[in-house]
């Protein structure tokens, strides 16, 4: 439990102190972490804050439109950078290289956007588990280890660096952020790219985006998992109509967790799993098979890469 009033007061003071008289750019993703950061920063530096949302092309279905609706009042700049992200991901198969390529692209885009407003401070919603996983060498969370060492910002401010996810949600409640934001499932910075094993292409992202939408529609309301997702884990043989199909294998994951550091799979009813399988194979061309991942963390991480 965190003393939310005290935390909010101290975080606002910290942002003010570290930002000095600089213009501040914030990387807003629409998740609870960056939304809390944006609210704290708006209170700390007011008009000197420029929130930027980067549409990487790796976002969930309808996400960018929803973010525009939720944050339009903050004079949000939406940067359409899908072409750039797909270009840097071409031919990249190694998961760490993928994360680093995405983290690097994010920073270059923030630098470019910051030039437009003269911002020299960057605010990020990094939380404690992101740092632990990156520093512990588990994987480079893009807003930490995936970030290039060289960047042109004079200062990087991370006011949530010591909080766990459930504590960030408490702060979001205390700040009176919309319920949808308070309860949003975690979504990784590198987006759907870490839910496609191997090389990322527009076609694979299109398929995994549809599969994630189906999984969320079937699971979020009735089961309220801490997180649920779908990943493309490979190709296998199937049959549709009377035609053999070399199609994608979709793996579904639904877990409960306190902080993302450990996680347990949900015991889902067979009927629910069967409906997800039937919807994915019927509604998404190219999907041949659906499996449910019952591995806890550890040993498996929540995301696939
Ligand atoms: P893993 O896959 O490491 O994920 O078990 C733990 C939690 O962190 C999220 N995650 C990320 N969040 N940037 C983020 O902001 C990242 O690079 C990243 N990688 C994983 C993941 O969705 C889960 O909630």
Distance 141 CA to ligand 1 centre (A): 7
pLDDT score for 73: 80
pLDDT along the chain (305 residues), means of 10: 95 98 92 94 95 95 91 88 98 96 93 92 92 77 60 91 95 95 92 97 98 98 98 94 92 95 97 98 96 98 97
Pairing of strands 23-27, 119-123: parallel
Q: Which atom of ligand 1 is nearest to the CA of 141?
A: 17
How far, in Å, CA of 59 to CA of 96, rounded? Answer: 19
Query: What predicted TM-score, i.e. pTM, was given to this entire model?
Result: 0.92
Return the residue whose CA atom lies nearest to atom 11 of ligand 1: 188
Report yes or no: 231 and 197 within 8 Å, Cβ to Cβ: yes
Q: Which atom of ligand 1 is nearest to the CA of 99?
A: 17
pLDDT score for 143: 62
Distance 234 CA to ligand 1 centre (A): 21
How far, in Å, CA of 262 to CA of 301, rounded? Answer: 8
How far, in Å, CA of 226 to CA of 207, rounded? Answer: 23
Domains observed in the chain: 4-182 (3.40.50.620), 201-292 (3.30.300.10)
Distance 297 CA to ligand 1 centre (A): 12
Q: Which two tokens stand for residue 185?
A: 């499932």
Q: What residues does ligand 1 touch, defined as CB less than 6 Å away?
A: 130, 133, 139, 141-143, 186, 188-190, 227, 260, 297, 301-303
């Amino acid at each position: 439990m965190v003393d939310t009033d005290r935390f909010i007061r101290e975080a606002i003071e910290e942002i003010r102190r570290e930002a000095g008289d600089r213009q501040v750019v914030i990387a807003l993703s629409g998740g609870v972490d960056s939304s809390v950061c944006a609210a704290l920063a708006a209170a700390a530096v007011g008009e000197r804050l420029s929130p930027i949302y980067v549409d990487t092309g790796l976002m969930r279905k309808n996400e960018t439109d929803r973010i525009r609706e939720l944050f339009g009042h903050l004079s949000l700049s939406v940067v359409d950078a899908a072409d750039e992200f797909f270009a840097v991901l071409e031919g990249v198969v190694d998961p760490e290289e993928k994360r680093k390529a995405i983290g690097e692209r994010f920073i270059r885009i923030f630098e470019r956007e910051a030039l437009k407003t003269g911002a020299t401070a960057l605010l990020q919603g990094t939380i404690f588990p992101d740092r632990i996983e990156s520093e512990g060498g588990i994987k480079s969370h893009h807003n930490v280890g995936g970030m290039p060492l060289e960047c042109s910002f004079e200062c990087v401010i991370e006011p949530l660096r010591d909080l766990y996810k459930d504590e960030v949600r408490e702060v979001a409640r205390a700040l009176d952020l919309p319920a949808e934001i308070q309860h949003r499932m975690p979504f990784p910075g590198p987006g759907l790219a870490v839910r496609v094993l191997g090389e990322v292409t527009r076609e694979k992202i299109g398929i995994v985006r549809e599969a994630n939408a189906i999984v969320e529609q079937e699971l979020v309301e009735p089961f309220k998992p801490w997180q649920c997702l779908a990943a493309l884990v490979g190709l296998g043989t199937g049959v549709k109509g009377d035609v053999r199909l070399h199609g994608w294998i979709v793996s579904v994951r639904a877990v409960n967790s306190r902080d993302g550091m450990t996680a347990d799979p949900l015991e889902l009813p067979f009927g629910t799993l069967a409906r997800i399988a039937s919807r994915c194979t019927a509604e998404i061309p190219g999907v041949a098979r659906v499996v449910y991942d019952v591995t806890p963390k550890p040993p498996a991480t929540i995301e696939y890469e």
